[in-house]
Every structure is written in structure tokens, then in C-alpha cells.
């Protein structure tokens, strides 16, 4: 079809048509360039060698792993012991090699490390917990001590306790898990109650590798080698106890022979059966999350009664898989778990379903904003502001135009009335 | 279908739009042009704000390796950067580059390594080349490179044995270098990709001769035997694998596919 250029077509219309054509080309080129730039950015921030889609992790979502302080072989984590988040989401990490406490950003960037006070350096820091007071409570099993340090690694009220292997801190309590039971202490480290002795009986314990304190002050305990979970009130009275699998301490010398005797209530081969419960934490939904060292999974239990909820993860060395996870902590701000993946020599950041305890869309948005999508917030806010300003300006203009036309129409009316009045007068 | 848009009719409104009193001049007197210009400017501004925001929120700040592949690559690269002359470290670096599909870079590293290091005893770089061929889907080339690597390793081994003394004693105790078996696996998977199941099984046999308890390779050989029509052989291999890995999905599915209950 031939282009029509009528003699009456104005120069302005020709300019408009050219302008539209030029801007269409510019817009197309711009969109292509932006698509290319976005693609490059996405490739830049997407980790290489992501876990395969076919990996069956039971619903566990891998976020990232942390491998070391730098790329140098000697700076890699070795036998990761613990990774706990502070209130700002920074991760504080111990391993079996460095003898220091290492600090990483939530994105996994190494910040610094310290070895404690110069006059009393840390020897073998293992499990840790942050208190609401911002202090770091570190188990030093070989020194029979809980080292209390500020964020700079300075002494802040350490105390002695026999063979501590786990610790949890609330506003008014410190709970220390030990080889023979657990202790409830005040914030000065003075005992309020000591629970248990070493053994297999009802009130006995065999390595309490996991303790956690609920919002209501309830205390949750992982009795590792007895393979039991239990809940206690703040004064040390037991609320419930469940056997979570076959105890790992069934072998004993009887009449000079090594004999294995299973506990009668051991759950063998069931889905909920744990192999060796170690570290423990509570998520925002109030559930107990346990690192099962030998099953290489995270197991979730109901805090009300210890009933089994689910298991997440799998054994292996790929990202999202575990090989002897020994401790787990939870960051409520980011709704993720930091797992000390011991034999894989790393800390893994993972998520499991239902941990936020809130509405799923809200949780999904919160989770997304902890990742690269957070960079899209400022442009989104800018877009909303621009749209709002445009709408306001348009509505003002429309109101002003309406007012003007109203004034115009009222003017005519006066004129008409005046004419009518004159006509009546003349009559 | 027309090859041009509809003619812009000089409607009365359009005639009126570019009035001298208008606040817009030139092509911007046209409302459509203005909207398109706003959209283009908005896109550019949004993109720039996103990039600045990504920089400020740390999204674009390098944070260290995030995956095992990135970690292996970074650690090997750091070791090479520090001056490592260990051919195995270079070989590992190439393997990590192949794992993240950086094939051109992997070829570059192989070339650099060949130019400066000696891999005569381990055939590290020939093995790396075989891996690269396999990853690129050049299966015949992969077989050829793996063959060359095995030949090189065997010759070096025999030379060490013939030389006598301590070197011969070590060679006798250590046997063929592990890369010999690795080359057999590359050949096995290449033959599989080529659909030559019989040759693939031969290579799996060679590998399992040195490592009979490699459960994952037993599974692979079992599955290859299914393809080759050797059902009893497949069942034996898959059952052997299940003795090591009782819940392995591949082995269980393999047995199910030949109608055998585990």
C-alpha cells in the first residue's frame, strides 16, 4: 500500500509520524540492550554448579554454602562445628581446625576472625549461641568452660561448668548441655537447677548435644546417645520426653562380653527414627529442628508434644546435601537455617517448608528479599512514587479543567438569563 | 498485508495539537511520541537504579564461593596463582572448569599447563582433554584421548619397572596410576553415549577390576547390561550395588525395569 501524503497534511503530522517511527526503533533497541544487560547480571549473580534439579532433598531449599575465609587452601573450613546468626544476620562460625571464631556477612563474605582475649585465648571453641544481650556464649569442652565474649572477642563474664557441649541463651537464662545432663543458670552463670546424671535411665542423659529455649521459657533437650528429645519448663520440670530412635549407646560389657541391648521403645526403621540427634534450634513456627548427624538430615518435631513433623535433606557432598551435620541454628529475620556440615567442611544455608510460621505469601516475599531480588526494591519504590505523582498531577489537572468548564458554562447561563430577562422586559 | 502503517490523517485534533502556545516543541507535540519517550527514559532510569541498588545492597559484591563447584574452582585457581607446579592441581582446575561448562577456559588452561609442566607419569592433561571432549559431546575424540592417556601411563609404568631400584619397587607396589582407571571410565561413558554397550561394559569391567566395590559403577554397568540385553548380568550387578547402597533409586528402578523384585 502506498503511503498517503495529502496536500492538507501538516508538517506537524509528518514530524509526529517520524518521531513515532524513530522512538519505536529506539525502544526496541533499548529493550534488547536491557534484556542483554539483565541476562548478564543474572548470570553474574547465579552460582556456578547449582544443585541438580533431580536431587531429592525432601523440600529443603539450598540458599548458599560458606567454605572458608579466602580461596587459599589453608583458609578453608575444616570440620565445621557451629554457625550462629547474630541479630543483624551475620554468621559466626567455628570449625575444628582454625581455633578461631570467624564472622561472615549474611551473603557469605568473610569479615574477620578472633581468638578471644589476648591473655586467655580460645583453645577449642565449638558450639555457640548469641544471647539477646548481644554477647557470644562459646562452649570450650576441654576447658570445662562457657566463654562469654563481646562481638570484639573481649572477655564478658566467662564461667566454668563441667564438659559443656551445647548452649542456649534467653533474656534471663543460660542453658548448658553437658555430657551428663543439662544446667539451667542465671545470666551471671549461677546454677538455678542441674538436671540429670550420666546414663540411660529416665532422668539420665548421655551427651546433651542440643539445647534450645522457647519464647515461653520452655527448654528443649537433645539427649544424643540415648536418642531422646525432651521438653522442660524454666524450673527444670519435665513436660514430655520422646524416644526418637535406636540409642547409640546400646553396647556394653556384660560378663566380659560386648553385648548390644536395644531400648524396648526404640523406633527402628520408622520414618521418624533418628540415628544421632545432635544440634537443635527452634524456628519461627515454634518447631524443634534437629541435626541428625548419621542420617545426614534435618528432622522437625512439634514442640507441644515431640511428635514427628518431617525430615529434610539427604546424604552427599553436593550443595543441599549433608555429610555429618553436627549443629543447626535459625535466623528468624531471613527465615533460614545455618547448618555446620562437618565432613563436607562447610556451612550450608538452607530453608525448609513451614519454618516461618506466618502466611505463605508474606514468607515468600520475605525470603525473596533476602536474595538478589532485594536490589529491585528501590526501582520498584521509585516506580510506585512516579505512578502516584503522575496520578495526582493528572487528577489535579482534570479537576482544574472541570472547574474551568464549569465557570465557562455558568458564564453562558448568566448571559442566557440576562437575555431572557431583557426579552421579558421588552414584552 | 500492508508494508506501512496506516496514514496519519490530519484530523482536526492533530492539526490543533502543535499550537504555538503548547509547552511542547517539535515531535514532542505528539502525545504518543511523548509517552514513548517517557517509557524509554523510565526503562533506562529503572535499570540504572537497579544496578546502583545492586551495588549498594551487596548483590553484585563478590562474596566467596557459594557452591562446591565454585569452591573447587576457586581453591584450585588460588593454588595455581600461588605457583603450584603439581599437575594434579592443574588437572583438578580443568575438571572444575568443565563442571561449570567453561570449556574454552578449560582448553586454555590445558594449553598453558602443557607448555610449562610435565605430566608424563600421570597423563593428567591428556585425561583433562578427554574429559573436555566428553563434555563437549565429542565422544570419539574422548575415547581417543583416553586411549592415549592409558598408553602413556602404561609406558611410564613399564619404564619404571624396567629401571629397577627404588623407583621400580614403588611402581610395583603402587600399580598403574589412578588416571588409568579414570580413562577407562571416560571411555565407558563415551561408548555409552555412542550406544556401543558392549564396549562400554568392557571398560566398566576394566575399572571394576581395580575397584570392585565401586557401587555407583556397578549400577552403571548393570544399566549398560540391561541395554545390551544381558538381564542376568544386570541383575547381579544391581544386587551387588544394593549391598552397598540399599536404598539407591537407580539400582531399584533398574531391577524393576527387568521385572525383578529387590
Interface of B with A in 8-37 (CB under 8 A): 8, 10, 14-15, 17-18, 26-30, 32-33, 36-37
B18 and A12 in contact by Cβ < 8 A? yes
B63 and A372 in contact by Cβ < 8 A? no
Q: How confident is the model at residue A419 (pLDDT cuts 50, 70, 90)?
A: very low
What are B201-244's pLDDT values in tens digits? Answer: 999 999 999 888 899 999 999 999 999 999 999 999 999 999 98
B136-144: long-range pairs with CB below 8 Å, 24+: B136/B103, B137/B193, B139/B190, B139/B191, B139/B193, B139/B194, B140/B190, B140/B194, B142/B186, B142/B187, B142/B190, B143/B186, B143/B187, B143/B190, B143/B191
**Does the pLDDT of residue B5 top 50, yes or no?**
no
- Domain assignments of chain A as residue spans, ordered by start: 61-358
Q: Is B60 on the interface with A (CB under 8 A)?
A: yes
B69 and A18 in contact by Cβ < 8 A? no
Q: Which of A71, A75, A76, A345 to mutate to test the interface with B (most CBs of B within 10 A)?
A: A71
Q: Which residue has the higher pLDDT, A378 or A215?
A: A215
**Does the pLDDT of residue A279 top 90, yes or no?**
yes
Distance between B4 CA and the closest CA of chain A, angstroms: 7
A379 and B49 in contact by Cβ < 8 A? yes
Q: How does the average pLDDT of chain A come out, rounded?
A: 87
Please report the number of interchain residue pairs, chain A to chain B, with beta-carbon separation below 8 angstroms.
170
Q: Mean pLDDT across the stretch A145-165?
A: 93
Q: How confident is the model at residue A9 (pLDDT cuts 50, 70, 90)?
A: low
List beta partners, residue A281. A289
**Does the pLDDT of residue A7 top 70, yes or no?**
no
List beta partners, residue A131. none
**Does the pLDDT of residue A409 top 80, yes or no?**
no
Q: Mean pLDDT across the stretch B19-37?
A: 74
Q: Which residue has the higher pLDDT, A298 or B172?
A: A298
Q: What is the model's pLDDT at position A260?
A: 74
Distance between B159 CA and the closest CA of chain A, angstroms: 34
Q: What is the model's pLDDT at position B11?
A: 47
**Which of these ranges, A53-62, A64-73, A333-342, B145-154, has the smallest mean pLDDT?**
A53-62
Nearest to A16 among B27, B57, B64 (CB): B27
Q: What is the model's pLDDT at position B226?
A: 95
Q: What is the model's pLDDT at position B3?
A: 44
Q: How confident is the model at residue A418 (pLDDT cuts 50, 70, 90)?
A: very low
- Looking at chain A, which residue has its C-alpha nearest residue B73? A71
Going by DSSP bridges, is the β-strand pair A128-130/A110-114 parallel, antiparallel, or unpaired?
A: unpaired
Q: What is the model's pLDDT at position A427?
A: 40
Could you say which architecture CATH assigns to the domain A61-358? 6 Propeller (2.120)
- Which of left, alpha, beta for A196 (phi over 0: left; psi -120 to 50: alpha)? left
Q: What percentage of chain A exceeds 90 in pLDDT?
A: 56
Q: Which residue has the higher pLDDT, A349 or B64?
A: A349
**Which of these ranges, A319-328, B12-21, B165-174, B226-235, has the smallest mean pLDDT?**
B12-21
Cell of B229: 540385553
Nearest to A48 among B51, B78, B100 (CB): B100
Q: Which residue has the higher pLDDT, A43 or A350?
A: A350
Say how many C-beta atoms besides its own lie within 10 A of residue B157's C-beta.
Answer: 18
Q: What is the model's pLDDT at position A421?
A: 46
Closest CA to A292 of A305, A279, A303, A309: A279
Distance between A11 CA and the closest CA of chain B, angstroms: 10
A37 and B28 in contact by Cβ < 8 A? no
**Does the pLDDT of residue A37 top 50, yes or no?**
yes
Quick one: A74 exposed, middle or buried, by C-beta within 10 A (0-12, 13-18, 19+)? exposed
B50 and A9 in contact by Cβ < 8 A? no
B69 and A48 in contact by Cβ < 8 A? yes
Q: What is the model's pLDDT at position A355?
A: 92
Q: Is A54 on the interface with B (CB under 8 A)?
A: no
- Domain assignments of chain B as residue spans, ordered by start: 25-55, 212-262
Q: Which of B45, B64, B215 to mutate to test the interface with A (most CBs of A within 10 A)?
A: B64
**Which of these ranges, A152-161, B49-58, B192-201, has the smallest mean pLDDT?**
B49-58
Nearest to A1 among B3, B47, B65 (CB): B3
What residues of chain B lie within 8 A of the CB of A72, using their CB?
Answer: 75, 78, 82
What are A303-313's pLDDT values in tens digits? Answer: 999 999 999 99
**Which of these ranges, A93-97, A164-168, B16-20, has the smallest mean pLDDT?**
B16-20
Closest CA to A234 of A283, A185, A187: A185
Q: How confident is the model at residue A51 (pLDDT cuts 50, 70, 90)?
A: low
Closest CA to A310 of A96, A118, A58, A16: A58
Q: What is the model's pLDDT at position A412?
A: 54
Q: What is the model's pLDDT at position A285?
A: 94
Q: What is the model's pLDDT at position A338?
A: 97
**Which of these ranges, A45-59, A65-79, A186-200, has the smallest mean pLDDT?**
A45-59
**Does the pLDDT of residue B17 top 50, yes or no?**
no
What are A115-127's pLDDT values in tens digits? Answer: 989 898 998 899 9
What residues of chain B lie within 8 A of the CB of A317, using their CB?
Answer: 68
Q: What percentage of chain B exceeds 70 in pLDDT?
A: 92
B46 and A382 in contact by Cβ < 8 A? yes
Q: How confident is the model at residue B90 (pLDDT cuts 50, 70, 90)?
A: very high
Q: What is the model's pLDDT at position A420?
A: 46
Say how many C-beta atoms besides its own lie within 10 A of residue A260's C-beta.
Answer: 10
What are A244-263's pLDDT values in tens digits? Answer: 888 887 777 777 777 777 66
* Residue that the C-alpha cell 556456578 belongs to: A48
Q: Mean pLDDT across the stretch A329-336?
A: 94
Interface of B with A in 99-138 (CB under 8 A): 99-100
- Looking at chain B, which residue has its C-alpha nearest residue A7? B10
Q: How far apart are CA A155 and CA A121, in angstroms?
A: 10
Distance between B154 CA and the closest CA of chain A, angstroms: 32
Distance between B99 CA and the closest CA of chain A, angstroms: 7
What are B101-131's pLDDT values in tens digits? Answer: 899 999 999 999 999 888 887 889 999 999 9
| Cα angle B94-B96-B101, degrees, rounded to a multiple of 5 | 95
Q: Is A74 on the interface with B (CB under 8 A)?
A: no
Cell of A340: 555446620
Q: What is the model's pLDDT at position A298?
A: 96
Question: DSSP strand E in B99-253: where?
Answer: none
Say how many C-beta atoms besides its own lie within 10 A of residue A348's C-beta.
Answer: 26
A8 phi and psi angles, rounded to 5 deg = -85, -5
Is B9 strand, coil or helix? coil
What are B29-81's pLDDT values in tens digits? Answer: 788 888 888 888 888 888 888 888 888 888 877 788 899 989 999 999 999 99
* Helix, strand, coil shares, percent, chain A, to 5: 25, 35, 40
Q: How far apart are CA A13 and CA B9, in angstroms?
A: 8
Q: What is the model's pLDDT at position A247?
A: 84
Cell of A170: 534467653
What are A227-242's pLDDT values in tens digits? Answer: 999 999 999 999 999 9
Distance between B13 CA and the closest CA of chain A, angstroms: 11
B15 and A375 in contact by Cβ < 8 A? no
Going by DSSP bridges, is the β-strand pair A336-341/A191-195 parallel, antiparallel, or unpaired?
A: unpaired
List beta partners, residue B156. none
Closest CA to B62 of A335, A334, B70: B70
Q: What is the model's pLDDT at position A422?
A: 47
Contacts of B191 (CB under 8 A, 6+ apart): B139, B143, B197, B199, B200, B203
Q: Is A110 on the interface with B (CB under 8 A)?
A: yes
Q: How does the average pLDDT of chain B come out, rounded?
A: 86
Q: Mean pLDDT across the stretch A317-333?
A: 94
B33 and A109 in contact by Cβ < 8 A? no
Q: What is the model's pLDDT at position A52?
A: 61
Say how many C-beta atoms besides its own lie within 10 A of residue A153's C-beta.
Answer: 21
Q: Is B70 on the interface with A (CB under 8 A)?
A: yes
Q: Using CA of residue B173, residue B175, residue B178, residue B181, what is the dihedral sign? A: negative
Q: Is B82 on the interface with A (CB under 8 A)?
A: yes
Q: Is A46 on the interface with B (CB under 8 A)?
A: no
A105 and B17 in contact by Cβ < 8 A? no
Q: How confident is the model at residue A411 (pLDDT cuts 50, 70, 90)?
A: low
Q: Is A39 on the interface with B (CB under 8 A)?
A: no
Residue B219's H or E segment, with its range, is helix B215-228
Amino acid at each position: 500500500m502506498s503511503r498517503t501524503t495529502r496536500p492538507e497534511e501538516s508538517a506537524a503530522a509528518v514530524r509526529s509520524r517520524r518521531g513515532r517511527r524513530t522512538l519505536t526503533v529506539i525502544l526496541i533497541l533499548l529493550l534488547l540492550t536491557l534484556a542483554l544487560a539483565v541476562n548478564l547480571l543474572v548470570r553474574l549473580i547465579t552460582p556456578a554448579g547449582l544443585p541438580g534439579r533431580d536431587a531429592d532433598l525432601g523440600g529443603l531449599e539450598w540458599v548458599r554454602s560458606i567454605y572458608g575465609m579466602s580461596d587459599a587452601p589453608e583458609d578453608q573450613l575444616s570440620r565445621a562445628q557451629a554457625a550462629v546468626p547474630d541479630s543483624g544476620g551475620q554468621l559466626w562460625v567455628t570449625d575444628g581446625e582454625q581455633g578461631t571464631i570467624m564472622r561472615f556477612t549474611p551473603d557469605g563474605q568473610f569479615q574477620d576472625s578472633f581468638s578471644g582475649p589476648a591473655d586467655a585465648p580460645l583453645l577449642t571453641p565449638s558450639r555457640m549461641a548469641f544471647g539477646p544481650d548481644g554477647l557470644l556464649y562459646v562452649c570450650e569442652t576441654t576447658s570445662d568452660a562457657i566463654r562469654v565474649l563481646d562481638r570484639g572477642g573481649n572477655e564478658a563474664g566467662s564461667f566454668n561448668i563441667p564438659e559443656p557441649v551445647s548452649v542456649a541463651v534467653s533474656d534471663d537464662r543460660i542453658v548448658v548441655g553437658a555430657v551428663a545432663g543439662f544446667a539451667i543458670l542465671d545470666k551471671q552463670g549461677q546454677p538455678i537447677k542441674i538436671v540429670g546424671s550420666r546414663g540411660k535411665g529416665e532422668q539420665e542423659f548421655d551427651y546433651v548435644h542440643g539445647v534450645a529455649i522457647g519464647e515461653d521459657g520452655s527448654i528443649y533437650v537433645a539427649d544424643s546417645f540415648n536418642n531422646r528429645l525432651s521438653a522442660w519448663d524454666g524450673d527444670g520440670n519435665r513436660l514430655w520426653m520422646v524416644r526418637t530412635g535406636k540409642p547409640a549407646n546400646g553396647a556394653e560389657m556384660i560378663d566380659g562380653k560386648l553385648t548390644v541391648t536395644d531400648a524396648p521403645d526404640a523406633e527402628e526403621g520408622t520414618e521418624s527414627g533418628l540415628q544421632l540427634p545432635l544440634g537443635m534450634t527452634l524456628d519461627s513456627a515454634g518447631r524443634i529442628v534437629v541435626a541428625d548427624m548419621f542420617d545426614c538430615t534435618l528432622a522437625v518435631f512439634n514442640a507441644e508434644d515431640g511428635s514427628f513433623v518431617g525430615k529434610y535433606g539427604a546424604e552427599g557432598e553436593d550443595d543441599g546435601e549433608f555429610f555429618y551435620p553436627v549443629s543447626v541454628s535459625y535466623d528468624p529475620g531471613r527465615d533460614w537455617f545455618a547448618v555446620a556440615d562437618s565432613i563436607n567442611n562447610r556451612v550450608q544455608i538452607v530453608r525448609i517448608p513451614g519454618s516461618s510460621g506466618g502466611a505463605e505469601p508474606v514468607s515468600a516475599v520475605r525470603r525473596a528479599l533476602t536474595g538478589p531480588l532485594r536490589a529491585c526494591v528501590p526501582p520498584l519504590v521509585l516506580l510506585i512514587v512516579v505512578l502516584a505523582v503522575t496520578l495526582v498531577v493528572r487528577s489535579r489537572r482534570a479537576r482544574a479543567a472541570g472547574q474551568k468548564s464549569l465557570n465557562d458554562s455558568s458564564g453562558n447561563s448568566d448571559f442566557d438569563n440576562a437575555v431572557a430577562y431583557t426579552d421579558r422586559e421588552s414584552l | 498485508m500492508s508494508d506501512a502503517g496506516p496514514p496519519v490523517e490530519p484530523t482536526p485534533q492533530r492539526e490543533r495539537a502543535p499550537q504555538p502556545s503548547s509547552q511542547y516543541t517539535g515531535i514532542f507535540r505528539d502525545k504518543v511520541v511523548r509517552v514513548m519517550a517517557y517509557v524509554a527514559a523510565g526503562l533506562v532510569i529503572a535499570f540504572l537504579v537497579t544496578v546502583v541498588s545492586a551495588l549498594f545492597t551487596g548483590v553484585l559484591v563478590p562474596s566467596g564461593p557459594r557452591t562446591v563447584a565454585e569452591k573447587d574452582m576457586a581453591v584450585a585457581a588460588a593454588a595455581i596463582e600461588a605457583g603450584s607446579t603439581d599437575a594434579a592441581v592443574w588437572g583438578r582446575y580443568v575438571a572444575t572448569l568443565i563442571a561449570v561448562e567453561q570449556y574454552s577456559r578449560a582448553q586454555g588452561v590445558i594449553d598453558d599447563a602443557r607448555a610449562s609442566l610435565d605430566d608424563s607419569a600421570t597423563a593428567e592433561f591428556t585425561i583433562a582433554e578427554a574429559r573436555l571432549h566428553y563434555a563437549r559431546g565429542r565422544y570419539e575424540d574422548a575415547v581417543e584421548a583416553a586411549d592415549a592417556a592409558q598408553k602413556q601411563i602404561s609406558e611410564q609404568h613399564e619404564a619404571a619397572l624396567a629401571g629397577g631400584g627404588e623407583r621400580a619397587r614403588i611402581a610395583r607396589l603402587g600399580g598403574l596410576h589412578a588416571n588409568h582407571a579414570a580413562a577407562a571410565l571416560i571411555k565407558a561413558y563415551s561408548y555409552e553415549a555412542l550406544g556401543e554397550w558392549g564396549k562400554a561394559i568392557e571398560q566398566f569391567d576394566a575399572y571394576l577390576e581395580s575397584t570392585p566395590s565401586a557401587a555407583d559403577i556397578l549400577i552403571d554397568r548393570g544399566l549398560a547390561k540391561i541395554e545390551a540385553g544381558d538381564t542376568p548380568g544386570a541383575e547381579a550387578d544391581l544386587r551387588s550395588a544394593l549391598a552397598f547402597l540399599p536404598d539407591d533409586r537407580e539400582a531399584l528402578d533398574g531391577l524393576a525395569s527387568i521385572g525383578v523384585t529387590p
